[in-house]
């Protein structure tokens, strides 16, 4: 599952902060993203797409750090497990396609 997909899953449609229009010094409209790092799992933030380029250092957390200790442990492991399972699925799908091609010959 891509980070984009995880971001969509974590975005609650009732969250008024999702409607906030933030812009950086480039006047780019910023979209809310979700951190999946080990230290900040499931924390939302805004940053300029050109962060660290063009001397733009715009970065803002959506919330105060309130991710509980258990979540900091569990969320990254679940995200890794999802990624690992998706890789296994992709491998099986490739094998099935290969077998189908062999049968057609």
Write the pLDDT tens digit of every residue in 43-55.
888 888 777 776 7
The pLDDT-based confidence of 97 (bands split at 50, 70, 90) is very high
Q: How far is CA 41 from CA 9, 54, 75, 76, 102, in A?
A: 14, 28, 6, 7, 44
Rounded to whole angstroms, how far apart are CA atoms 66 and 40? 9
Taking 90 as the threshold, does the pLDDT of residue 92 lie above it? Answer: yes
pTM score over 0.75: no
Mean pLDDT, the chain, whole residue set: 78
Domain that holds residue 98: 3-104
Residue 12 has pLDDT above 60, yes or no: no
Count how many domains the chain has.
1
Evaluate whether 61 touches 32 at the Cβ level (below 8 Å).
Answer: no
Better-predicted residue by pLDDT, 101 or 67: 101
pLDDT tens sequence across 69-91: 787 778 888 888 999 999 999 99
């Amino acid at each position: 599952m891509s980070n984009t997909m995880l971001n969509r899953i974590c975005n609650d449609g009732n969250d008024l902060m999702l409607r906030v229009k933030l812009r950086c010094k480039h006047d780019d409209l910023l979209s809310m993203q979700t951190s999946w790092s080990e230290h900040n799992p499931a924390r939302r933030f805004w940053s300029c797409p050109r962060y660290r380029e063009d001397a733009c250092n715009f970065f803002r957390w959506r919330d105060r750090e309130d991710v509980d200790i258990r979540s900091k442990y569990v969320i990254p492991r679940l995200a890794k497990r999802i990624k690992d399972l998706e890789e296994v699925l992709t491998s099986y799908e490739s094998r099935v396609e290969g077998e189908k091609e062999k049968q057609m010959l």
